[in-house]
């Protein structure tokens, strides 16, 4: 591993420090592209306006007309955390804005696969819906939208994934990545897109005289009526305007979905997450989120973006991987605390099962991956793994583990569990910086027509379906693309760090200050690096290395989770700051991320 120190633009760091930012934070923010204090303004007024997102205003008019006519709306969700939160935001938000007939449908991972398919459109029509709204999917659902149109359904697509060569013939498409959309934040998550549609809808209803321009006093909880005793009425109905609902009550859900989907945390996304965290820390959140914090053993009053990514998000995702995402969505929709606790405990149990399955699969997948090359040799440029006993619900997680272990693009396949499709394999891939996985799949599809039955995704994560007989062809084709695209320097594992930590910053209050910032994909949490003396080391729990280190002449505890190999007496280590609590005392601890060499 090569430890690389991030460049810190001195003018930007100086400007931030002069503006009152703590010197350590100023240095960290400047290294991540922040140039002035305005970039750190978390106020809602700094959000990019909804009218900059192509299709948002057309969607607002479509929805306002549907609400006025009391048409039946059906949300078609997705089975990951982004899709679940987007669905909950859509249902809660539309009800807040006056929709009286709103329901949702979640595709079955095994039976339906991904996105809006023709059978799903038929099920939506059978439910009596007039307008179908996709969240976190639909941009590639050409056939599904065509079927919906033929059935007389109107379709509103809200999505953030990259479009294919052909767009679906939906009534309206809202997607920052569609051709012609100039929305600056291309990394907004699916839940963020739906939130923007609701902002545009509220503005449209306000322009129609439905809402008083004064906001309702106090943030209501999710789908409850706006405070002040006013029930939202249907757009266009007769009567005096009612108080405008506060859509900021939805921001905790927007924050959760944004972080859990691992989208780039640009300035706009960071504002959405920061606003959601602010409300959670103040105790203002849906009952289901509060219950998930309890089930995960996390404290909402000190909530961080890490809680979304490593505690709440996995519990929601587990439902979609192993069971039915309806459980996750219902947890996010209920306002009954007892029901929320019951659902959160169920999700926690499913997540424990997921971890057990993942652990067994990971060990087996690692053995298969290791068998692809001789000891002492370099791994192949891309790694593909399949076993008939693999569970398709966790192939993505295992692919991520293989990618981390070998620093190569990795695909893990499992046999399809859908009836009549036992000959198909469903694969999920994860990539390394410098290798666009979806583009690689597109090239494989062009070079080997018919091998990929379906595919889609992003630069760092993608999925595909192939016939089992084509597994060897796919594996060889992906390796060929990887060999062509990946330079030797790209295949060397590199960890960007923030350089040495000054001893005066090794303090609990700064650990807490760092944890309160919004970190994540594209705005990496601080990792420091320098040469440390290793005073002692021992194994704990048979798979973690507990360390006594000397930093700048002072002793400090350290731990390297998942690492068992001993360190030399002196080593250049990368580490994060953590607060270790023991018998009521909190001390700074170094969480080791890697060692150079």
Burial code (b: 16+ CB inside 10 Å, e: under 16) for 393-421 equals bbbbbbbbbbbebbbbbbbbbbbbbbeeb
Asked if the model's pLDDT at residue 389 lies above 50, the reply is yes
Asked if the model's pLDDT at residue 422 lies above 90, the reply is no
Are the C-beta atoms of 193 and 158 separated by less than 8 Å? yes
Please report the DSSP string for 459-511 in residue order: SSEEEEEEEGGGHHHHHHHHHHHHHHH--HHHHS-EEEE--PPPGGG--HHHH
361-491 belongs to CATH 1.10.8.60: no
Burial code (b: 16+ CB inside 10 Å, e: under 16) for 439-469 equals bbbbbbbeeeeebbbebbbbebbbbbbbbee
Residue 376 phi/psi, 5° resolution?
Answer: 95, -15
d(CA 512, CA 515): 5
Residue 436's pLDDT is what? 94
Please give the C-alpha separations between residue 288 and each of 88, 189, 255, in angstroms, as whole numbers: 11, 21, 14
Q: Which helix (H) or strand (E) holds 592?
A: strand 585-595
Asked if the model's pLDDT at residue 592 lies above 50, the reply is yes
d(CA 366, CA 398): 9
Residue 322: both structure tokens together: 């192993």
Residue 230's pLDDT is what? 38
The angle that helices 267-281 and 251-260 make with each other, rounded to 10 degrees, is 130
Burial code (b: 16+ CB inside 10 Å, e: under 16) for 577-589 equals bbebeeeeeeebb
Residue 178: both structure tokens together: 């569609």
Please list, in sequence order, all residues whose beta carbon lies within 8 angstroms of the beta carbon of residue 486, skipping any fewer than 6 positions away.
381, 434, 435
Asked if the model's pLDDT at residue 235 lies above 90, the reply is no
Closest CA to 470 of 483, 452, 456: 452
CATH among 3.90.1640.30, 3.90.1300.10, 3.30.420.40, 3.40.50.2300 for 50-345: 3.90.1640.30
CA torsion sign, 181 to 186 to 189 to 191? Answer: negative
Instruction: For tokens 């309206």, name the residue.
Output: 172
pTM of the model: 0.90
Which residue ranges does the chain devote to CATH 3.90.1640.30? 50-345
pLDDT in tens, 475-501: 999 999 999 999 988 888 899 999 999
Residue 288: both structure tokens together: 């289901």
Mean pLDDT of 25-48: 95
Asked if the model's pLDDT at residue 171 lies above 90, the reply is yes
Say how many CA atoms lie within 13 Å of 269 toward its Cβ: 29
Which residue ranges does the chain devote to CATH 3.10.310.30? 361-491
d(CA 491, CA 407): 7
Instruction: Give me the percent of the chain exceeding a pLDDT of 70.
Output: 96
Mean pLDDT of 425-439: 94
Which CATH architecture is the domain 495-595 placed in? Beta Barrel (2.40)
Which residue ranges does the chain devote to CATH 2.40.50.460? 495-595
Q: Which helix (H) or strand (E) holds 403?
A: helix 395-406
Residue 114's pLDDT is what? 78
Helix/strand/coil (H/E/C) assignment for every residue in 344-386: HHHHHHHHHHHHHHHHHHHHHHHHHHHCCCCCCCCCCCCEEEE
pLDDT in tens, 267-305: 999 999 999 999 999 999 999 999 999 999 999 999 999
Confidence of residue 376 (pLDDT cuts 50, 70, 90): confident
Closest CA to 343 of 283, 291, 285: 291
Asked if the model's pLDDT at residue 214 lies above 70, the reply is no
Strand pairing class (528-540; 73-76): unpaired
Are the C-beta atoms of 59 and 156 separated by less than 8 Å? yes
pLDDT in tens, 522-542: 999 999 999 999 999 999 988
Residue 4 phi/psi, 5° resolution?
Answer: -110, 130
Residue 128: both structure tokens together: 């009596």
Residue 389: both structure tokens together: 């006993």
Closest CA to 457 of 128, 39, 73, 161: 161
Strand pairing class (154-158; 131-135): parallel
d(CA 396, CA 358): 10
pLDDT in tens, 135-147: 999 999 999 999 9
């Amino acid at each position: 591993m090569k430890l690389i120190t991030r460049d810190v633009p001195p003018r930007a760091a100086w400007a931030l420090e002069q503006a009152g930012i703590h010197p350590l934070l100023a240095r960290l923010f400047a290294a991540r592209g922040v140039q002035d204090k305005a970039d750190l303004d978390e106020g809602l007024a700094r959000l990019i306006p909804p009218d900059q997102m192509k299709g948002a205003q057309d969607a607002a008019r479509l929805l306002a007309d549907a609400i006025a006519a009391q048409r039946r709306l059906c949300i078609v969700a997705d089975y990951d955390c982004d899709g679940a939160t987007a669905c909950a935001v859509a249902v809660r938000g539309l009800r807040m804005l006056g929709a009286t007939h709103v329901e949702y449908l979640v595709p079955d991972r095994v039976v339906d696969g991904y996105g809006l398919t023709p059978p799903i459109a038929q099920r939506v029509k059978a439910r009596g819906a007039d307008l179908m709204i996709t969240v976190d999917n639909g941009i590639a659902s050409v056939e599904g939208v065509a079927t919906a149109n033929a059935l007389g359904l109107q379709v509103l697509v809200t999505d953030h994934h990259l479009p294919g060569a052909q767009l679906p013939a939906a009534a309206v498409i809202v997607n920052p990545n569609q051709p012609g959309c100039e929305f600056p934040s291309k990394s907004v998550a699916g839940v963020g897109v739906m939130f923007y549609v609701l902002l545009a809808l509220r503005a449209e209803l306000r322009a129609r005289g439905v809402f008083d321009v004064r906001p309702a006093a106090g943030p209501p909880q999710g789908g409850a009526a706006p405070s002040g005793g006013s029930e939202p009425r249907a757009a266009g109905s007769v009567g005096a305007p009612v108080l405008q609902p506060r859509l900021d009550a939805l921001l905790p859900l927007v924050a959760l979905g944004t972080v859990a989907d691992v989208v780039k945390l640009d300035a706009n996304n960071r504002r959405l997450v920061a606003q959601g965290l602010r409300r959670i820390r103040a105790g203002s959140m849906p009952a289901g989120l509060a219950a998930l914090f309890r089930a995960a053993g996390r404290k909402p009053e000190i909530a961080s973006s890490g809680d979304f990514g490593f505690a709440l998000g996995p519990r929601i995702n587990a439902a979609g991987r192993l069971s039915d995402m309806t459980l996750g969505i219902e947890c996010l929709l209920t306002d009954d605390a007892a029901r929320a606790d019951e659902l959160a405990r169920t999700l926690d149990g499913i997540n424990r099962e997921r971890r057990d399955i993942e652990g067994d699969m990971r060990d087996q997948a690692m053995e298969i991956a290791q068998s692809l090359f001789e000891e002492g040799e370099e791994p192949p440029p891309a790694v593909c793994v399949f076993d008939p006993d693999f569970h398709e619900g966790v192939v993505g997680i295992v692919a991520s583990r293989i990618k981390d272990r070998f620093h190569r693009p990795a695909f893990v396949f499992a046999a399809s569990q859908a009836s009549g499709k036992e000959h198909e394999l469903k694969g999920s891939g994860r990539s390394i910086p410098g290798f666009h996985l979806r583009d690689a799949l597109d090239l494989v599809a062009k070079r080997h027509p018919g091998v990929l039955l379906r595919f889609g995704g992003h630069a760092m994560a993608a999925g595909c379906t192939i016939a089992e007989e084509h597994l060897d062809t796919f594996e060889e084709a992906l390796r060929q693309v990887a060999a062509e695209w990946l330079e030797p320097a790209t295949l060397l594992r590199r960890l960007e760090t923030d350089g040495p930590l000054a001893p005066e910053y090794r303090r609990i209050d700064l650990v807490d200050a760092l944890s309160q910032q919004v970190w994540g994909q594209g705005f990496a949490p601080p990792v420091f690096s320098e040469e440390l003396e290793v005073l002692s080391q021992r194994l704990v729990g048979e798979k973690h290395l507990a360390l006594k280190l000397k930093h700048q002449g002072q002793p400090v505890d350290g731990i390297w989770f998942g690492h068992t190999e001993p360190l030399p007496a002196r080593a250049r280590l990368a580490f994060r700051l953590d607060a270790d609590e023991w018998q009521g005392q909190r001390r700074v601890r170094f969480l080791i991320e890697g060692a150079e060499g």
